Amino acid sequence: MRRVWPMQKAPQTADDVASKLSGRLLVLVAAVLWSTNGFFGDAPIFKGYWDDDIRGIMLAFWRAVFASLALVPMVRRPSWSPWLIPSSLIFVVMNVTFLNAMAYGGPTTAIWLQNTAPGWVFLIGVFVFRERVVPRDWLLLLFCVLGVGFILLFGLQETKSAKGVIWGVFGGLTYAAVVLSLRQLRGHDAIWLIALNLLVTAVALSPFVVLHSVEHGDWPHGWQWLYLAAFGMLQMGIPYVLFARGLQRIAGHEASGITLLEPILVPVWVFLAWHNSPLYESPKWWIFVGGGLILIGLLVRYFGIARRQVESK
C-alpha cells in the first residue's frame, strides 16, 4: 500500500512577504486615524448641543456627508456586484450603532466593544471562508472573549452604561459584517466601495436628520462645521480606503486584529484634548481591565509574527 505524504505548502516569495507587510502597514495607519473618533465624537461642542438620544445619528450623517465629499471625486473604477447591496446597508447600521454606543457609553466603551469584531470575523473566516489560521489566532480569540466578557459583566450594571454596552455589542457584530463584506469585495476598487457605502449612509439617514433639524433648529453652526468636515474626511473616509486596500493583501481576521490598536489610542487622544472640559467623563476602571485583556491577546498574536519574520531573515 502506497503511503500518501501530506502536501507541502509552497514557501512564501519575497513579493508575498512584501505584500503582506504593506497590507499590515496600511491597516495600521487606518487604525491610528480611526482612533481620533473619540476626539471628534466626544467633543464638548457636540455633547452640549445634541442630546444623547439623537447625537449618534446626527454625527453619523454629517460624518458620512463630508467623507463622501472627500472620496467621490477620487472614484475612477465604479463596478457592480450583488454584494454591494448588503455591504452598503450593513455599513449604515454599523455607523449608527457605533456612534450611539459612543453617545451613551463614551468613546472608550464604544471602541472596545466594537472590537469584539475580530472574534466574529475569526470564527466566520475559519468555518465559512476557510481562511488559514495559526494557534496564536485562537489565543487572540480567547483574550477578546475574556476582555469583552469583563466589560459586559460590569457595564450592564449601570443604566446609562448598559445602553452604551448594548449598542457597542451590536456595533461589534456589524463591524465584523463590514470587514467580511469588504473581504468578499476585495476585487473592486477600494475608493469606490467606501464612497458608495458612505453615500448610502448619508442618503439613508438624511430624512431623519433634515426633519429633526428643521423642527428643532439645531443645524450645525460655526466651528462645528470644521469639526464635522475633519471627522468625515480624516477619521472616516481616508482610513477606510487604507483598510480596504490592506484587506486585499491579508486575511480578514488578521486585519481586524491589527485594528485593536485603535481603542488603545482613543482614550489617550480624548484625555489630552478634553480632560479640562466639565463635560469630560473618564473611562470606568473595568473598561481598562477588559481592554487590557484584549491588548494582551493582540500582543501575543502579532509579536509572534514579528519575531518569526526577524528570525527568517
pLDDT single digits (tens) 225-268: 999 999 999 998 888 788 878 888 887 667 766 877 787 788 88
In a domain, 272, yes or no: yes
Please check the confidence at residue 93 and state whether its pLDDT lies above 90.
Answer: yes
Mean pLDDT of the 73-94 span = 90
pLDDT confidence bin for 312, thresholds 50/70/90: very low
pLDDT single digits (tens) 274-284: 888 887 777 78
In a domain, 162, yes or no: yes
User: What does the pLDDT read at residue 7?
Assistant: 44
Cell of 307: 519575531
Q: How many CB atoms lie within 10 A of CB 116?
A: 26
Please check the confidence at residue 6 and state whether its pLDDT lies above 70.
Answer: no
pTM equals 0.77
Q: What span, in angstroms and rounded, lies between the C-alpha atoms of 252 and 296? A: 20
Please check the confidence at residue 162 and state whether its pLDDT lies above 60.
Answer: yes
User: What does the pLDDT read at residue 304?
Assistant: 55
User: What does the pLDDT read at residue 309?
Assistant: 46
In a domain, 18, yes or no: no
CA angle 185, 191, 192 (to 5 degrees): 65
Q: What span, in angstroms and rounded, lies between the C-alpha atoms of 226 and 123? A: 40
Q: What span, in angstroms and rounded, lies between the C-alpha atoms of 286 and 295? A: 14
pLDDT single digits (tens) 173-217: 898 888 888 878 888 888 898 899 999 999 999 999 999 999 999
> What is the overall mean pLDDT for the chain?
82
pLDDT confidence bin for 310, thresholds 50/70/90: very low
Please check the confidence at residue 23 and state whether its pLDDT lies above 80.
Answer: yes
Please check the confidence at residue 307 and state whether its pLDDT lies above 60.
Answer: no
In a domain, 14, yes or no: no
pLDDT confidence bin for 1, thresholds 50/70/90: very low
Determine contact, residues 294/115, Cβ cutoff 8 Å: yes
Cell of 194: 467606501
Please check the confidence at residue 92 and state whether its pLDDT lies above 60.
Answer: yes
User: What does the pLDDT read at residue 215?
Assistant: 93
3-state secondary structure of 50: coil
In a domain, 181, yes or no: yes
In a domain, 13, yes or no: no
Q: Which of 137-146, 219-228, 280-289, 298-307 has the highest mean pLDDT?
A: 219-228
- Number of structural domains (the chain) is 1
Domain that holds residue 288: 28-312
User: What does the pLDDT read at residue 64?
Assistant: 95
In a domain, 16, yes or no: no
